[in-house]
Chains A and B, each alone.
Chain A
């Protein structure tokens, strides 16, 4: 059965103009609007085109390695002594994170649109790697914008992208992180829109990106839903995912949105702590505003200048969030928690030692929340954690935070 046809039938949002309630929409310089119109039209065609869907599914199977397993986390479950814990293993996707589900979908669309050049932004480098990967496979020229600060934090992924044949352009403007890389990618797109497709890496940006990226990522939730029913005979009680831009969470949540019994919990990065000024807890502490083409919760000052986000995790270090999350929050359909750097670093080591799986720093945020939540639940209940990516890329950064390598 085709992934996208199923994937898009879970909710009626967004409307034709890309609005999720009051959020989303399209706030971009006029030059880009025709390109967004074309993208929306091509995507509309593609998601009901059996050939496109079959090809998408085939690459997800043969190249990405889907379906990814659902792992029962026996040791975590026993230690926490509450709900049974399952892990949806997106870390086992080719390239080590969920990001490639989206880049496969978008490169196939770029091919339909006949655009030979690809650009992307990246924070942790995972989306950059996933984009460089599909560009290598499908024969595209690839340019990845990455904040100069993140280039330092995620050196390994910079070299990976270069090995894959991509050009990595460090961004020196603004705060030199994901927000600025996204600005620079959008400016490149405004300039080179005739021959360039912009592969956005999360459920952010102007319409149709938030809906399109969600649909490509919803394979996560769809597989999870089927696997949980097969394994436990029913739906999970809670699904838990970390939220940067929100694509792994949205991909996980989407197929469960109309299952009212399932609690959807997103976990943001609280950086130094939500009582401080250094955090990335956009939904917990932000206010609605417009950034990168859509209306959504943002970290900003009273005059609407975008604030700097802070997190040990480069992939969560973003002052915005996907507009559909803003809508899910305001409707009360999803809840959002925030955990700080220390808790995430702790959780990373804990999961590594107990389960023998090294999570990405982003993913570790979901586990820090899991530690608080699972003990409050009963053994006949279940939680699924979206294991969004593996932590190899973070080893150097974590070692630094923990006081260096000990040999």
Chain B
């Protein structure tokens, strides 16, 4: 059974939602991202999304864009991100690690080569935000060959046709985009999220649904936990880590978010 699947099974038994935490590889501690990952995992996060920085991300808001730029300036590359994953595994991190980024760096690495290297480094899945399912068949094949799950996005604008297209490709979980827009912090969880999650569950049965984009506070996580299998927090963590450079503060924030996932 895949790490992601056993993770969601265990959470289900405990009646909790998953806390998914996003950080950009190499920001703010180039070469020591494994410490960040370990801190997040030890503080109770269930799944880690590790951002592979790209020069021209379309789905990211200002906070993660700026973080990506800092990481690129610090010399982060796709191979160095995979080194971070390996280092985290060596340090005993057991939670699923999902690589998140844009398609071009993966394409330039080589599709089959990247899938193999990611799996052997200890990654469990990928989310490639601009690889729409229309273009993803080959990537699905390459990933499946290496036991890597392919996570796709469903948005409030997604139609029945889109869900039908994602169904055969989806693995790990569905990333439900809570609002039209880019990543960033908002004051509330958007209305209609319960309906969207229900709609996804009906159309893509058997795959957990995690909600992201705009989720930053424990009360957002609590609201999402009532209707979905997990909540993704990104910009708030990235921003705080950048401002404080403190693993202690990071651990506290993650713990407070995790506490909100209990139903």
Do A and B come from the same complex?
Answer: yes
Interface residues of A (CB under 8 A from B): 17, 25-35, 37, 173-174, 179-180, 183, 186-187, 190-194, 287, 289-293, 298, 300, 302-306
Tell me how many residue pairs across A and B have CB atoms closer than 8 Å. Answer: 118
- Pairwise interchain contact A34-B157, C-beta atoms closer than 8 A: yes
A-B contact pairs, 22 of them (CB 8 A): A27-B132, A27-B135, A29-B59, A30-B153, A31-B153, A33-B134, A34-B162, A35-B157, A190-B59, A191-B180, A289-B107, A289-B108, A290-B107, A291-B56, A293-B130, A300-B104, A304-B78, A304-B104, A304-B109, A305-B54, A305-B72, A306-B55
Determine if B65 and A173 form an interchain contact, defined as CB atoms under 8 angstroms apart.
yes
Contacting pair B152 A174 (CB below 8 A): no
Does any Cβ of A come within 8 Å of B181's Cβ?
A: yes
Task: Please determine whether B158 and A190 come into contact, CB atoms closer than 8 angstroms.
Answer: no
Q: Choose among A173, A180, A303 the residue with the greatest number of B CB atoms under 10 Å from its CB.
A: A303
Using CB atoms, name the residue of chain B closest to A18: B134
Task: Give the CA-CA distance A291 to B180 in the complex, in Å.
Answer: 21
- Residues from chain A with a CB closer than 8 A to the CB of B105 are 303-305
Main secondary structure of the interface of A (DSSP, over half): mixed
Whether the pair A31, B156 counts as a contact (CB closer than 8 A) is yes
Smallest Cβ-Cβ distance to A290: which chain B residue: B104
Would you call B182 and A190 a contact (CB within 8 A)? yes
A32-B77 Cα distance, complex, nearest whole Å: 28
Any A CB within 8 A of the CB of B7: no
CA distance A326 to B106 in the complex (A): 20
| Contact assessment for B132 and A174 in the assembled complex, using a CB-CB cutoff below 8 Å | no
Residue pair A302, B130 in contact (C-beta under 8 Å): no
Residue B58 at the chain A interface, CB threshold 8 Å: yes
Of A26, A174, A192, which one neighbours B55 at CB under 8 angstroms? A174
Decide if A29 touches B58 in the complex (CB within 8 Å). Answer: yes
Shortest Cβ gap from B70 to chain A (Å)? 13
The reply to whether the CB of B232 lies closer than 8 angstroms to some CB of chain A is no
Is B98 an interface residue, CB under 8 A from the partner? no
Q: A31-B180, A173-B65 are known contacts. Are A305 and B107 too (CB-CB below 8 A)?
A: no
In whole Å, how far is A24's beta carbon from the nearest beta carbon of chain B? Answer: 10
Contact B72 A33 (CB under 8 A): no
Contacts of B132 on A, CB cut-off 8 Å? Answer: 26-30, 33
B58 touching A28, Cβ below 8 Å: yes
Pick the residue among A28, A191, A300 that contacts B182 (CB under 8 A).
A191
Docked CA distance A49–B129 (Å): 36
| A304 and B159 contact, Cβ closer than 8 Å, known pairs A17-B134, A290-B103 | no
Q: Is the beta-carbon distance between B65 and A193 smaller than 8 angstroms?
A: no
Within the complex, which residue of A26, A30, A300 is in contact with B154, where a contact is CB–CB below 8 Å?
Answer: A30
Chain A residues with CB under 8 Å of B56's CB are: 174, 179-180, 183, 291-292, 306
Compute how far the CA of A191 lies from the CA of B155 in the bound complex, rounded to whole angstroms.
11
In the complex formed, the residue of A with least CB distance to B60 is A187
Q: Does B131 contact A (CB under 8 A)?
A: yes
Contact, CB under 8 Å: B157 / A27: no
A293 vs B152: C-alpha distance in the bound complex, in angstroms?
A: 16
Which residue of A has the minimal Cβ distance to B103?
Answer: A290
> Is residue B177 contacting chain A, with contact meaning CB distance below 8 A?
yes
Taking A191-B180, A304-B106, A306-B55 as given, write out 4 further A-B residue pairs in contact, using a Cβ cutoff of 8 Å, ordered by the A residue number. Answer: A29-B129, A30-B162, A187-B58, A304-B107
